[in-house]
Amino acid sequence: MTGRVSAPALSGMLDATRHRGPDDSGTYVDDHVAIGMNRLSILDLSHAGHQPMLSADEQLVLVYNGEMYNFREERQKLEGLGHSFRSHTDTEVVLALYQQYGRECLRHMRGMFAFALWDKRKCEMFAARDHLGIKPFLYALQPSGLIFCSELKGMVAHPGVPKTLDRESLYEYLVNGHINQPRTIFSRVKSLEPGHSLVWKADGSHTVQRYWSAAQSVHSRTPSYDEAVATTRKLVMESVAEELVSDVPLGVFLSGGVDSNVVVAAMQASGASRIQTYSIGFGGESDALDESEHARESAKFFGTEHYAVDVSSADVAREFENMVSGFDQPVVDGYNTYLVSKHARTGVTVALSGLGGDEVFGGYHIYRTMLRQALAPRQKHALARATRPVWQHLGLSESRLVQLHEAAALATIPGHYSSSQLVYKPAQVAALLRPTARPMSVSDLYLLQQRTNAALDDDGLTDPFQHISLIAMRSFMTHRLLRDSDAVSMKHSLEIRVPLIDKRLIEYIFPLPWDLKFKRDAVLNEPASDKSYATAGVKRLLVDAFEDLLPPGMTTRVKRGFTMPLTVWLDKAFSERMRHTFESESSPLPKTDALAQTLARFRAKKSNPFQVWSLVVLVEWLRQMGVTTLDDME
């Protein structure tokens, strides 16, 4: 924290986030700042890596979370410029980069990181978050100064940060299943967005600015397909090799999909030995969703030391409160990563994951559908989009407003993408929360969705899949996949690394034209129901780059996302929690007809189980946070 500092408040924040760094803890306090760090030791396990880390002249104070994968290369350059080092950590390299280049140090960093650096000479705090948002940075700006932390539970441990719910974030959570950054569930806390930096000065002024975007990536010429395949393989291999650097045991999450198998194949090709792989199954409760047998086949093919955890509905019920605590904010996903992380932490401290491969290489079938529609001649609904803000003043019925908003949303790539991710429709959420203080109308919710989509968009892109990929990376990947993975893995003091979203790899893959990433005929002509990698045309570059290293038959396997058997879990082990969530007077949810109908539809097997799950998670999260009403929102 900066400004009016409090050592006891800092101690409370450190206690609330001890799980993120159980190996060491340190503080630095002066008249202007109080900075603390819980360290999970990965590189240079000695005390030389202690944080906060001070420069030799003690004019700079740094707390740094994450890994800089090119730190050895940059260290060598810095040594040539006269810098000397006392440790073998990447943290000290970041400190030296700032000494040499100031805020331009970010141009020299590649990896996953969030850091805050106090510059005594300038009397300012410089903070930044990595290019893709792999590591979190939460903050609150107050008249007394700046408060920041890696987790929400650490933020609200500070007495100056109230647990006041953010109205738009709550509605957004129920619509999307997650909260879009920079908002958080609490109104006074913001998330620094990926590829952004923050400068806070002692006079209370601050600036937040973007320093990187995938959309800025360009090629001087379009490579041939064979060139693109070869370069993709080279960059993935280099990324995986760099992310194997660790002074503690390291493993990899393995499923039946291409992404994690590519990571294992690249590890093996990089010379890694005694690879430990971890997978999750469902104990026979949902064979249709269980990929653990495919994971075992892959492990046998690669010769890894494989550990599989079978999870039953009873296991999930027993672990539920700990899972929700690990989520840090309400979210409908993340329990698979929570469970496999808990299991993996008994053997390793670092785990590689194939996360992000779908968003970068085009792995979801909805992308192919959206791409086909974007390429087909169609009416753009320009008038509908332009007049959205005035619809609510025309005296139209609510059902007609909903029809207009939904049609307008589907006319744009951001709107189409967000519509494909819905847990509840906006009209359903408006009905659920109508009795609360300051409820949002249906039009309010659609306009919120429109503003959110506009913030994700980039009008300068003409290639339709670049457009789709950018939105997917900035929304679902950042707000749900990466945020959840960091929160739940660090709950177990496990670091997850994601080599398929390395900055150099993104900068090469992103600007390539769509027909190098998808099979043109499959997009334009094949039926959308064709789901195998080979014939559906999805993830073409990655599959062709590594097919010779993958298990036989993988490319003809049906491509499917990782899905949990929520219906089975809720039916078998969550009846009492559902009763409390939907029917108990102590539940903070308004007792509306819409709420009762949601439960009735689920019991009749006529609804998306995520609708029930999202409310069960929300009520438990509110209980843990001590929030008893939905009326106190800003």
- Residues 444-450 have a mean pLDDT of 82
Indicate the pLDDT class of residue 382, thresholds 50, 70 and 90.
very low
Tell me, yes or no, whether 196 and 304 share the same domain.
Answer: no
| DSSP annotation of 120 | T
Provide CB contacts within 8 A for 84, sequence distance 6+: none
Q: Which pLDDT score, from 0 to 100, does residue 279 have?
A: 95
Dihedral of the alpha carbons of 107, 108, 111, 113, in degrees to the nearest 10: -70
Indicate the pLDDT class of residue 367, thresholds 50, 70 and 90.
confident
Q: Which pLDDT score, from 0 to 100, does residue 302 have?
A: 97
Q: Which pLDDT score, from 0 to 100, does residue 526 have?
A: 60
> What CATH number corresponds to the domain at position 286?
3.40.50.620
Closest among 585, 563, 580 to 619, alpha carbons compared: 580
Q: Which pLDDT score, from 0 to 100, does residue 531 have?
A: 64
Tell me, yes or no, whether 191 and 107 share the same domain.
Answer: yes
With helix as H, strand as E and coil as C, how does 99-128 read?
Answer: HHHHHHHHHHCCEEEEEEEEECCCCEEEEE
Please check whether residue 131 lies inside any domain of the structure. yes
Judged against a pLDDT cut of 70, whether residue 33 lies above it is answered with yes
Percent of the chain past pLDDT 90, that is, above it, reads: 71
Q: Which helix (H) or strand (E) holds 191?
A: strand 190-191
Closest among 295, 324, 322 to 484, alpha carbons compared: 324
Cβ contact 115:62 at 8 Å: yes
Provide CB contacts within 8 A for 444, sequence distance 6+: 430
Pairing of strands 250-253, 276-281: parallel
Judged against a pLDDT cut of 90, whether residue 207 lies above it is answered with yes
Judged against a pLDDT cut of 90, whether residue 143 lies above it is answered with no
Indicate the pLDDT class of residue 514, thresholds 50, 70 and 90.
very high
Q: Which pLDDT score, from 0 to 100, does residue 366 have?
A: 84
Judged against a pLDDT cut of 60, whether residue 54 lies above it is answered with yes
Closest among 303, 235, 290, 225 to 264, alpha carbons compared: 303
Tell me, yes or no, whether 133 and 221 share the same domain.
Answer: no
Judged against a pLDDT cut of 60, whether residue 391 lies above it is answered with no
| DSSP annotation of 480 | I
Indicate the pLDDT class of residue 442, thresholds 50, 70 and 90.
confident
Percent of the chain past pLDDT 70, that is, above it, reads: 91
Q: Which pLDDT score, from 0 to 100, does residue 449 have?
A: 82
Pairing of strands 350-352, 206-210: unpaired
Judged against a pLDDT cut of 60, whether residue 538 lies above it is answered with yes
Please check whether residue 395 lies inside any domain of the structure. no
Tell me, yes or no, whether 172 and 222 share the same domain.
Answer: no
Which residues on neighbouring strands pair with residue 141, listed in sequence order? 146
Residue with tokens 């791409």: 371
- Residues 137-165 have a mean pLDDT of 96
Tell me, yes or no, whether 137 and 189 share the same domain.
Answer: yes
Q: Which pLDDT score, from 0 to 100, does residue 112 have?
A: 98
Q: Which pLDDT score, from 0 to 100, does residue 530 have?
A: 55
Task: Give the whole-angstrom CA distance, residue 517 versus residue 521.
Answer: 12
Closest among 413, 378, 406 to 391, alpha carbons compared: 406
Cβ contact 461:215 at 8 Å: yes
Q: How many other CB atoms are there within 10 angstroms of residue 389's CB atom?
A: 10
Indicate the pLDDT class of residue 237, thresholds 50, 70 and 90.
very high
Tell me, yes or no, whether 114 and 167 share the same domain.
Answer: yes
Judged against a pLDDT cut of 90, whether residue 20 lies above it is answered with yes
pLDDT tens digit sequence for 621-630: 999 999 999 9
- Residues 78-95 have a mean pLDDT of 97
Closest among 339, 265, 332 to 476, alpha carbons compared: 332
Closest among 588, 506, 577, 550 to 132, alpha carbons compared: 506
Indicate the pLDDT class of residue 386, thresholds 50, 70 and 90.
very low
Sign of the CA dihedral running 489, 495, 498, 502 = positive
Please check whether residue 607 lies inside any domain of the structure. no
Dihedral of the alpha carbons of 524, 526, 531, 536, in degrees to the nearest 10: -50
Backbone angles phi, psi at 454, to 5 degrees: -65, -35
- Which of 508, 533, 556 is where one domain is finished? 556
- Residues 188-197 have a mean pLDDT of 98
- Which of 556, 579, 602 is where one domain is finished? 556
Backbone angles phi, psi at 84, to 5 degrees: -120, 155
One-letter identity of residue 431 = A
Burial class (CB in 10 A: 0-12, 13-18, 19+), 375: middle
| DSSP annotation of 47 | G
- Residues 584-613 have a mean pLDDT of 94
Judged against a pLDDT cut of 70, whether residue 459 lies above it is answered with no
| Count of domains for the chain | 2
Q: Which pLDDT score, from 0 to 100, does residue 500 have?
A: 98
CA 321 to chain centroid, in Å, comes to 21
CA distances from residue 283 to 180, 316, 522 in whole angstroms, order as listed: 34, 12, 36
Tell me, yes or no, whether 203 and 220 share the same domain.
Answer: no
Please check whether residue 514 lies inside any domain of the structure. yes
Tell me, yes or no, whether 198 and 291 share the same domain.
Answer: no
Q: Which pLDDT score, from 0 to 100, does residue 440 have?
A: 87
Quick one: tokens of 393?
A: 């003043």
Cβ contact 156:10 at 8 Å: no
Tell me, yes or no, whether 307 and 335 share the same domain.
Answer: yes
Please check whether residue 151 lies inside any domain of the structure. yes
Tell me, yes or no, whether 190 and 268 share the same domain.
Answer: no
Provide CB contacts within 8 A for 394, sequence distance 6+: none
- Residues 55-79 have a mean pLDDT of 97
Q: Where are the alpha helices (DSSP H) in 388-536?
A: 388-391, 398-410, 413-420, 426-432, 442-456, 464-472, 483-490, 503-509, 514-517, 520-524, 533-536
**Least confident span in 17-21, 51-55, 218-222, 560-564:** 560-564
Q: Where are the alpha helices (DSSP H) in 574-630?
A: 575-583, 593-603, 609-625
Q: Which pLDDT score, from 0 to 100, does residue 533 have?
A: 66
> What CATH number corresponds to the domain at position 178?
3.60.20.10
Burial class (CB in 10 A: 0-12, 13-18, 19+), 92: buried
Whole-number average pLDDT of the chain: 90
Q: Which pLDDT score, from 0 to 100, does residue 383 have?
A: 41
CA distances from residue 48 to 3, 61, 87, 89, 200 in whole angstroms, order as listed: 29, 15, 5, 8, 28
Please check whether residue 202 lies inside any domain of the structure. yes
Task: Give the whole-angstrom CA distance, residue 549 versus residue 519.
Answer: 21
Please check whether residue 311 lies inside any domain of the structure. yes
Residue with tokens 């075992």: 296
Closest among 514, 524, 515 to 372, alpha carbons compared: 524
CA distances from residue 440 to 188, 432, 437, 582 in whole angstroms, order as listed: 20, 11, 9, 21
Q: Which pLDDT score, from 0 to 100, does residue 582 have?
A: 97
Q: Which pLDDT score, from 0 to 100, does residue 381 have?
A: 44
Closest among 134, 136, 148 to 188, alpha carbons compared: 148
User: Which range marks the domain in which residue 317 is found?
Assistant: 216-362+474-556
Please check whether residue 625 lies inside any domain of the structure. no
Quick one: tokens of 421?
A: 């991710």
- Which of 192, 212, 232 is where one domain is finished? 212
Tell me, yes or no, whether 159 and 278 share the same domain.
Answer: no
Tell me, yes or no, whether 142 and 287 share the same domain.
Answer: no
